[in-house]
Structure 1
Amino acid sequence: MAMHEFETLVELSVLCLDRSQEEGLDRRSLFFNLYKLQQQYDTAFTHFRVMDVLIKHHFVYTFPVSAHPAYATHAAWFDALAASRKFSFIYRNPTAEWDQETNPVAGYANFDFTTQSYIMYCDAGSFLWADMAANSTLTGDDAIAPEKTDVFSLAHEVAEAAGEQKDKDVLGLWYQLLPYMVMEAEQEGEPIHYKALEAILDLVVANDAIPEEGLPPADELPVGGELGKFCQWWYAPAADKMPATAPEQAEEEIDLDAVPFKAQVEKSAAWYEQQVVEILQEANTAITEMEDNGASEATRQSVFSRLQEGLSYADKGLELSPDEPGLLMNKGSILMLLEQYNQALATYDKALALAPDNAYVHLNRAVLFYHMEQIPEAIASFERLLQLEPGNEFAQQWLAHLKND
């Protein structure tokens, strides 16, 4: 499964659990475990796709930033954050740099366009939630930590709800994921709950939910041992749908993005740059559609999430190839779409120092200067672009517009 499929699995599972009619279902704990599972993989931050549901079931809590336990100590920092109206993770020590071990993410904040207010969010079980419970901002059931569970029990709960709703999409995604979870559990010596897996497989088969695509070739399944036995049993109902590996495909390059394991996999700077380019294309298409058809909070948050993912890819690529002008330019474009204009300019400037005659860098800098309302600098950048590409109609039109206005 690719990383976006993990994101879809979690999103659809949340919606499925929300629709369930089962009384006493601990959705809050199930959401906690779903997002813990998602965090194990290189996925984007996707809470805002289903934020209303997460708040409804008391997994996510909302406050003004002034409610943060450290607000009195860092009031200026929090007020500046709220004034920015931008999404931000909030670390345990809000003003210090992020560190996974010593200063991890504790909460997050974002501007809500519906209420026109800046909101701080914390998930049940998070560090910020623990602080809010400790100072009695959260009380009663809200101050009780969600219960942790293993992935097999989690999948069983979701599958039961999906079976009730005849939800083939949710069942099919779990059917694809669980063999990898079994492999991982076996590698790490963790228990595998076969009774839960048996119940899930029965639900998948009963609802004819085995997906047509995404199944491994039959001759590539593990052979022998407990894992081989499991795969033989698990994929038996899918035998007529599983592809055969063509001889000429045996030496095909592995699709690294589809590798589902948590192990570190070697990826090139070029691979990361390609991901950034694709995300930029998706974001620009979505932005154009919003301009033409009107904006929605869901679309806006989806674009924001993808841009954050693109920024992460750009940084990973630049770790491998720090002086790659194209990657720097595309990182600058993501920063510009995120309205982080000063950071975007610094990134474009670095790209320009490495490739002073790159017309695309001059074009992007010109557009950025326009957004920054630095019109003389925008004009100068467009003029330099036309020196490099005298026939560039886009630059000609923009330059005429800027000079006339």
Structure 2
Amino acid sequence: MQGAVEVLDRHFPADDQRVRDWIVALFAFQDGYDCSLTQHRVLDILLRRGHTLRFPVSEHPDYARRRAYFDGIGEFTTLREFGEDEVEFAGELEDGYVDPPWLYCEAGSALWRRMAGPDAVPPRAVRLLDVVVAVAEAAERDGDVELIALWWALGHEALVGGCPLSAEELAATPGVQELRAVVRRTGAHQAKLWYDLRPDDDALDQMDDELSTWWYRID
């Protein structure tokens, strides 16, 4: 995730509002996996791009009512309170987080809607595949073949979704050919990865999956 955010920040103008929305989509994708939060690694970019807002803790709208609670926070703390039936990692940052002395909220979250003001523009919904294409094309300009390979290796189910019925239908999905072209030009399908999800030819033969075979076998 860090590499994707950094490459988007490097290659798109500071006033390009799409970048904030792309970053929102990237972290929403990450939230679907059971992994630790990584926002702190690129926090300067998130603040500069408007993905994350930062305030003194005392500016939280509930501070006056819960002052003892907020003043007692001495380390990184997410503010989401979960009911018994909720899954903890779903929406963990909806109510923001505190890393003393600062309060943070992410664009589109419940706390952001309370603090950003009535004129704030919420994130626009974007397809993950469109974001990945933007990342891959920017990474190609940097010569970062590994970053391209890591995203492409996730496969069509993760990046495209939906229920394509054939390789032809998958190939016709907007963005797929653009990503495939970057992979082919850079040789990313042959790049060695430290964590490789790509099935080899033997595994593809055993899977007998037309869509995966088309995705991973690039001439």
Distance, in Å, in 1 between the alignment partners of 2:125 and 2:160 is 21
Residue 148 of structure 2 corresponds to which residue in structure 1?
171
1:152-163 aligned within 5 A:
152-163=129-140
Contact 2:52 2:106 in 1 (8 A): yes
Contact 2:129 2:160 in 1 (8 A): no
Matched, 1:130 2:130: no
Q: CA deviation at 1:75?
A: 1.3
Residue 3 of structure 2 corresponds to which residue in structure 1?
12
Q: Output the amino acid matched with 1:32.
A: V
Residue 120 of structure 1 corresponds to which residue in structure 2?
103
Q: Aligned pair count? A: 202
Distance, in Å, in 2 between the alignment partners of 1:101 and 1:87 is 20
Q: Output the amino acid matched with 2:79.
A: I
Residue 149 of structure 1 corresponds to which residue in structure 2?
126
Residue 234 of structure 1 corresponds to which residue in structure 2?
215
Residue 59 of structure 2 corresponds to which residue in structure 1?
67
- From 32, 35, 40, the equivalent of 1:48 is 40
Query: Which residues of structure 1 form unaligned runs of 5+?
Result: 1-9, 92-96, 112-117, 239-405
Does 1 or 2 have the higher relative contact order (CA < 8 Å, sep 6+)?
Answer: 2
Q: CA deviation at 1:33?
A: 0.3
- What is the TM-score when the length of structure 1 is the normalising length? 0.46
**Residues 24/58 of structure 1: CA separation in 2 closer, same or farther (3 Å cut):** closer
Distance, in Å, in 2 between the alignment partners of 1:208 and 1:236 is 12
Q: Deviations over 1:128-177 (max 9, x none)?
A: 101113xx3xx64xx11111122212212222222222221221111111
**Residues 61/147 of structure 1: CA separation in 2 closer, same or farther (3 Å cut):** same
Query: Which residues of structure 2 form unaligned runs of 5+?
Result: none
1:5-404 aligned within 5 A:
10-21=1-12, 24=16, 26-81=18-73, 84=74, 86-91=75-80, 97-99=81-83, 100=86, 105=93, 106-111=95-100, 118-133=101-116, 136=117, 140=119, 143-181=120-158, 185-186=162-163, 194-210=173-189, 211-213=191-193, 214=196, 215-221=198-204, 222-223=207-208, 228-237=209-218
Q: CA deviation at 1:183?
A: 8.1
Distance, in Å, in 2 between the alignment partners of 1:14 and 1:147 is 17
Tell me, what secondary structure is at the counterpart of 2:218? helix
Greater shift in the superposed pair: 31-40 or 172-181: 172-181
Tell me, what secondary structure is at the counterpart of 1:161? helix
Q: CA deviation at 1:205?
A: 1.3
Tell me, what secondary structure is at the counterpart of 2:50? coil
Q: Output the amino acid matched with 2:125.
A: K
**Residues 74/182 of structure 1: CA separation in 2 closer, same or farther (3 Å cut):** closer
**Residues 183/132 of structure 1: CA separation in 2 closer, same or farther (3 Å cut):** closer
Contact 2:6 2:42 in 1 (8 A): yes
Greater shift in the superposed pair: 52-61 or 170-179: 170-179
Q: Deviations over 1:322-356 (max 9, x none)?
A: xxxxxxxxxxxxxxxxxxxxxxxxxxxxxxxxxxx
Distance, in Å, in 1 between the alignment partners of 2:58 and 2:147 is 39
Q: CA deviation at 1:235?
A: 2.0
Tell me, what secondary structure is at the counterpart of 1:50? helix
**Residues 11/78 of structure 1: CA separation in 2 closer, same or farther (3 Å cut):** same
Q: Output the amino acid matched with 2:4.
A: S
**Residues 25/172 of structure 1: CA separation in 2 closer, same or farther (3 Å cut):** farther
Tell me, what secondary structure is at the counterpart of 2:32? coil
Contact 2:155 2:215 in 1 (8 A): no
Distance, in Å, in 2 between the alignment partners of 1:25 and 1:229 is 38
> RMSD of aligned C-alpha atoms?
2.6
Q: Output the amino acid matched with 1:161.
A: A
Distance, in Å, in 1 between the alignment partners of 2:10 and 2:215 is 28
Q: Output the amino acid matched with 1:88.
A: T
Calculate percent identity across the aligned residue pairs: 28
**Residues 182/65 of structure 1: CA separation in 2 closer, same or farther (3 Å cut):** closer
Q: Which has the higher helix share?
A: 1
**Residues 41/24 of structure 1: CA separation in 2 closer, same or farther (3 Å cut):** same
Tell me, what secondary structure is at the counterpart of 1:122? strand
